[in-house]
Amino acid sequence: MPSEMEEILELTPDMVAMPELVSNPTFQSGADMLSELAKAILDQRDLSVGGSRDITLETMVREMLKPILREWLDRNLPYLIERLVKKEIDKMINRAERMDS
């Protein structure tokens, strides 16, 4: 015997049946096109530039960023490493001093 809550939550045929806004062939055609679009997006993640399949937008951006990143690393990496090493040495010294106390 269903509980009162189950009866309230039970769907009636009127609740399940949705009015059709488009015919079944139109619906199926639209669903097929969306499915093809989704498949194409998954198959081709890189966006081609121009007409060439060899050059993608991702490849162009990556190549443009390489010299910029190289320059930034040349300028900042020694300082970052020095700062991190100094911080670790300070931690080790502080631990050693606490052990001595």
CA distance linking residue 92 with residue 61, whole number of Å: 42
pTM (predicted TM-score)? 0.40
What are residue 55's phi and psi, to 5 degrees? -105, 120
Q: Which two tokens stand for residue 79?
A: 């300082």
Q: What is the pLDDT tens value at each position of the chain, 101 positions in all?
A: 556 655 666 666 665 555 566 677 777 777 778 777 777 766 666 666 666 666 777 888 888 999 999 999 999 999 999 999 999 999 999 988 888 87
* Residue that has been written with the tokens 């049946």 in this structure: 17
